[in-house]
């Protein structure tokens, strides 16, 4: 079904792995489309309560495949046709998305990691806003997310200098949810993803929606929206289970409905 990525669902987690290791998982148009499709598939699947995006081999993603572009290409059109739809699918996804950054995340690969809700970072991984090194501006939502995560000044610095940021430094900047030792990688990423998948999925989707909305609304508008979000959350089975478990002094067993 997919050629440039692998996709499987296990214990409520959709595992989406970029699969062009010889090119450090560089993006092609086909890969953009397959990621978009897999995220959409995960959004709609009742089986899926968390999504992990990672890379095969030693890299997370090296950005656009530079062997697949030439001077005559309209890069704006490329963004509108391939990267934009992929990033929009990720932004509108109601399920929590975890970037498991196993190695270097460069260019649009960095943007992909930034667009995810959490970034688990291997101690051997690094981030590189490589665009400026080839005379381009950070794209695929990069500046939008980066400035929100690390602040304006650091976002400008990383984008203009285009230098590698090692995992430990990324953690200090708030880019990493957690840095994980190589020997613990599989176990800890799986444990984190399954923990997220065991939580009240609909509430998480609403948290994502209203956190994002808070940037665009006045406080009064926001409170109005928030009340609607809480009304919806209050109708879920997980809310009933949460309150019941509390009164019965036991751990809640959420089902994502």
Residue 106 vs 176, nearer CB to ligand T3D: 106
Sheet-wide strand order for 118-122: 5-10, 13-18, 50-55, 97-101, 118-122, 178-180
Residue 97 vs 105, nearer CB to ligand T3D: 105
Residue 135 vs 249, nearer CB to ligand T3D: 135
Residue from 14, 16, 18, 24 binding ligand T3D (CB under 6 A): 24
42 binds ligand T3D (CB under 6 A): no
Residue 99 vs 197, nearer CB to ligand T3D: 99
H runs (alpha helix) in the chain = 29-44, 75-78, 84-92, 108-115, 142-150, 152-161, 167-173, 185-197, 201-213, 219-233, 237-247
Instruction: Lay out the site mask for ligand T3D across 112-151 (x = CB under 6 A, - = otherwise).
Output: ----------------x-xx--x-x--x------------
67 binds ligand T3D (CB under 6 A): yes
106 binds ligand T3D (CB under 6 A): yes
Residue from 19, 45, 65, 217 binding ligand T3D (CB under 6 A): 65
Residue 26 vs 175, nearer CB to ligand T3D: 26
Residue from 63, 200, 205, 256 binding ligand T3D (CB under 6 A): 63
Instruction: Report d(CA 133, CA 3) in Å as an integer.
Output: 30
187 CB-contact burial (10 Å; exposed 0-12 / middle 13-18 / buried 19+)? exposed
Would you give the DSSP letter of residue 198? T
Instruction: Measure Cα distances from 32 to 5, 7, 159, 238 in Å.
Output: 10, 14, 23, 34
Instruction: Report d(CA 149, CA 21) in Å as an integer.
Output: 28
16's enclosing H/E stretch is: strand 13-18
Q: Under the rule (CB under 6 A), what is the footprint of ligand T3D?
A: 23-24, 26, 62-67, 69, 75, 78, 104, 106-108, 128, 130-131, 134, 136, 139
């Amino acid at each position: 079904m997919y050629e440039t990525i692998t996709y499987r669902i296990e214990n409520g987690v959709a595992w989406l792995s970029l699969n062009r290791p010889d090119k450090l998982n560089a993006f092609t148009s086909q890969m953009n489309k397959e990621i978009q499709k897999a995220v959409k598939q995960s959004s709609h699947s009742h089986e899926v309560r968390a999504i992990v995006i990672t890379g095969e081999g030693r890299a997370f993603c090296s950005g656009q495949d530079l062997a697949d572009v030439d001077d005559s290409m309209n890069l704006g059109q490329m963004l509108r046709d391939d990267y934009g739809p992929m990033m929009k699918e990720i932004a509108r996804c109601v399920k929590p998305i975890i970037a498991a950054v196993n190695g270097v995340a460069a260019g649009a690969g960095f943007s992909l990691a930034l667009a995810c809700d959490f970034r688990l970072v291997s101690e051997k991984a690094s981030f590189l806003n490589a665009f400026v090194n080839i005379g381009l501006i950070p794209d695929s939502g990069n500046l939008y997310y980066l400035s929100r995560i690390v602040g304006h000044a650091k976002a400008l610095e990383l984008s203009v200098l285009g230098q590698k940021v090692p995992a430990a430094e990324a953690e200090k900047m708030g880019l990493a949810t957690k840095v994980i030792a190589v020997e613990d990688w599989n176990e800890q990423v799986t444990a984190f993803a399954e923990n997220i998948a065991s939580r009240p999925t609909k509430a998480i989707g609403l948290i994502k929606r209203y956190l994002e909305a808070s940037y665009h609304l006045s406080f009064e508008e926001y409170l109005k929206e928030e009340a609607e979000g809480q009304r919806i959350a209050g109708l879920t089975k997980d809310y009933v289970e949460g309150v019941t478990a509390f009164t019965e002094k036991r751990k809640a067993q959420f089902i994502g409905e």
